[in-house]
Structure 1
Amino acid sequence: MSEPVKKVYVSQDNSAIVICEACGRTKKLVNIQEEQPGKKIRVHCGCGANFTIILERRRYYRKQVYLPGYYAKTSVPGEHPMIVRDISLGGLRFETVEEHDLRKGDVVRVRFRLDNPDRTSITRPVIVRYAGHKVVGTEYFKDDPVDRALGAYLLK
């Protein structure tokens, strides 16, 4: 049976605090590189305990969903179908139904409905942070207030 892997969150200054569950000692990891989050790291504590951690950069809980909707580049007319695959207070990840030409830094407007009892409509601009083959990761604008309905939805 494999040992459990503990998530450790990377802060804005690219550091993380690791706490040994055996003795409670703490160790600060510094200068964590951009490509390191998501990788498993074996930690050896001074007390003799060994354990595995995985570095996580996310600031918010992500809810796995399947929400059909549409996206549109703000600079080009026309909407394209998408499926929202996960959503958080900081952004969302969607899958395009067709090939896309989105690039990191593009601003797009997303439109979809939550699967809550009110079928709340969400329409907001987002900035593309990752654009893969048919997968797009986005972040909400900092000055865009989080919808109350979205916050309540994520708590359920």
Structure 2
Amino acid sequence: MTEPMEITVKAFVRADDTVTIVCPVCKSPKNAAVGAFRDKSHYLKVRCPCETVFTVHLEFRQHYRKLTDLPGTFRSINPSGMGGEIHIKDISVSGIGFTFSGMHFLEKGHTLSLSFTLDDKKKTKLTKEVVVQSVIGDFVGCRFVEQQAYQKELGFYLKG
């Protein structure tokens, strides 16, 4: 006998913290309030009235995030003193995610300056101030402090 396949569906959370979950088998939709999960697990086990059990991945992101592998550097602004080499793994108009090898003491709320070069035709050099939003192992997720700086170049890069 074979194991039942684990089904995961992605559900995009609206600005009012509601989501429409659609069963992958019977296609039955269900609206749900999910604001309580914003700072907790983004994965929920759901049982549909048709008896299908599946996992829902709640996607709270508001902007497309492009996967990358760009080298860069960081310098800690607050608290000051830390710095090092990073690898940028994803980027959007509102934030960035990177990995950092070796020991670090980055925490949620730290302010950093990131410098990196896009792999576009112009090899656009960017320096962005960010605030750390999450640290999971060696992956650091950040949001940009200022929204307008380099908006045009970053916008073109994300569309490319």
TM-score bucket (shorter structure):
0.7 to 0.9
Matches within 5 A, 1:85-100: 85-100=89-104
Shift of 1:29: 0.9
Runs of 4+ that moved beyond 6 A: 21-24
For structure 2, which runs of at least 5 residues remain unmatched after alignment?
A: none
Q: 1:16 touches 1:28 (CA, 8 Å); kept in 2?
A: yes
Cross-structure match for 1:56 = 59
The reply on whether 1:35 has 2:40 as its aligned counterpart is yes
Give CA-to-partner distance per residue, 1:107-151, whole Å, 9 cap, x none: 10100001111111111100000123322110112x421521111
Give CA-to-partner distance per residue, 1:46-72, whole Å, 9 cap, x none: xx4847332222222222211111111
For structure 1, which runs of at least 5 residues remain unmatched after alignment?
A: none
Scaled by the length of structure 1, what TM-score is found? 0.80
Please, what is the CA RMSD of the aligned residues? Answer: 2.6
Matches within 5 A, 1:71-90: 71-75=74-78, 76-77=80-81, 79-90=83-94
In structure 2, the CA distance between the partners of 1:28 and 1:118, relative to structure 1 (3 Å rule), is same
Shift of 1:14: 3.0
- Distance in 2 (CA, whole Å) between partners of 1:92 and 1:30 is 27
Cross-structure match for 2:72 = 69
Scaled by the length of structure 2, what TM-score is found? 0.78
Shift of 1:11: 3.0
Q: 1:126 touches 1:138 (CA, 8 Å); kept in 2?
A: yes
In structure 2, the CA distance between the partners of 1:24 and 1:71, relative to structure 1 (3 Å rule), is same
- Distance in 1 (CA, whole Å) between partners of 2:137 and 2:147 is 28
What percentage of aligned pairs have identical amino acids? 25
Question: What is the aligned length?
Answer: 152
In structure 2, the CA distance between the partners of 1:36 and 1:123, relative to structure 1 (3 Å rule), is same
